[in-house]
Chains A and B, each alone.
Chain A
Amino acid sequence: MALKPRQVLEAMNEYYEQYPACAGRSIHKLGQEASAAYSRAREKIARFINASEPAECIWTRNATEALNMVASGLKISKGSKILTTSLEHHSSSLPFVERARRSGMRIEVLRAHNDGTFDIEDWKKAIDRTTRVVSVAHSSNVTGTVTPLRDIVEIAHDRGALVVSDDAQYAPHHPLDVQSLDIDFSAISVHKMCGPTGMGILYGKMELLESLNMFLVGGDTVSDVRFEKGRILPQYLPPPAKFEAGLQNYAGAIGAGAAAEYLQSIGMIEVEKRERELLTIMLKGLKELEHVNVLGPEDVRVRSGLVTFYVDTVTSAHDIASFLSDEYGVMIRSGFHCAGPFHYQLGIPPARGTARASIYIYNNEAEVSRLLEGLHALIVTSSQEETH
């Protein structure tokens, strides 16, 4: 969860205070203003990820919904293979596991190395001519490792498979160019990129979106619904409308657009550079602390702005998060991070879990030092025999 800049809050307030109307359906003045702002927000998102047109960007509630839309709506024949990995967030594996179960497809799980990296040769072996979909996180929310997506897309396309990229962790921290990478579908969660909660984006190539079945249908998805000979006959609109059923989160979309614009005003190269500076300090500091085990590679060039770790002297990562919050005002996440399979692969049981410290553009060196100071204090106390 990223903090929200004033620009995002002001954009959302402006909607509620000055034109709190339904976009696209109301013809009055406020409706027109809302429609214009809503439309501009989609354009901002398209620019942010370099989609070829705004209509390729569908508003969703989160990346999870976006991934479910693809898993549920793709036309894939029975017996086809879906490939995912052991490193995935549950949101990029479970929708495909369920689709495979329901539709009689095979699902194969490519095992990541324990540091969260992959060998490209493993991808070449795993993606075969029966593979129809590859669902993969562009950047892991556990190890922070960045997947070699360009190579994976090339292999997949060569063998007739589509690539669904979970960009929830990647998009906020790196420049994302969906056209250059030739990604078929991409899922983004706005709350991680300085935007409001409960907003996500599904990107899809237009020809794929046109053939994708809808996950939800209803108001605003149709050009006409006729009633003939006792039958209801809908005519669906082209994307994005056919996927955006019912009243939308207009303020959320406008906030998402403002977040994308904000990040682009800084420049995603600059965001990436700043995070790597802080990441270098954090990794170095953690390495110097006895009993701390960091997941993922040391090379910050293949990582996003987070570090996941566990401490030998602390039996549950929740204690690390509780202590840092209570005593040092440092907020980190603990548990399985919705990535159970990878934790089980590493032999980390649920009761232990891992701790994850995330950094973003608004963090500074002093805050990284505070985290390290708190961890040091915790290690000292948790190593002692007597309780205090």
Chain B
Amino acid sequence: MSALSRNAQCVLQILQATGTLTTSEILEMARRTEYAEICKDCAGGDTFVAAANQLVEQGLVTKKLGKGGYHWQIVRR
């Protein structure tokens, strides 16, 4: 597996520290000060969502469509 991008690490760290989150919740968390060191990309959030989708492809995260939109969860091994 290739090294994770900074944005992917940001998403992983947020999901590890929480539980199931919607896309907007991940993006809101990414702007919090506690994630400021690792989550540094554009406020619009495109790159974080793209990174989250890559994590799904790598089998590290799941996403399911439900109320409010997609719900993201880390895959616990």
Contacts and interface: CB of A to CB of B under 8 A. Distances in A.
Interface residues of A, number: 28
Contacts of A313: 67-68
Contacts of B65: 319, 323, 378, 381-382, 387-388
A340 interface: yes
Interface stretch (A235-243, A299-307, A345-353): A345-353
B64 A318 contact: no
B31 to A, nearest CB: 7
Interface of B: 22-25, 27-28, 31, 42-46, 49, 53, 64-71
Interface majority SS on B: helix, strand, loop or mixed? mixed
Contacts of B27: 316, 318, 350-351
A353 B68 CA distance: 14
Shortest Cβ-Cβ A-B pairs, 3 listed:
A387-B66, A335-B44, A319-B69
Interface of A: 313-316, 318-319, 322-323, 334-338, 340, 349-353, 378, 381-388
19 contacts: A313-B68, A316-B45, A318-B45, A319-B23, A319-B70, A322-B49, A322-B53, A334-B46, A335-B42, A338-B44, A350-B45, A351-B31, A381-B65, A384-B67, A386-B67, A387-B65, A387-B71, A388-B64, A388-B65
Contact of A315 (B23, B43, B49, B64): B23
Given A350-B43, A351-B31, 17 more contacts: A314-B68, A315-B24, A315-B68, A316-B49, A319-B69, A322-B49, A322-B70, A323-B70, A334-B46, A335-B44, A335-B46, A338-B44, A350-B44, A351-B25, A384-B67, A388-B64, A388-B65
Given A316-B24, A351-B27, A382 B67 contact: yes
Contacts of A387: 64-67, 71
A316 B64 contact: no
A335 B45 contact: yes
A78 to B, nearest CB: 32
A237 to B, nearest CB: 38
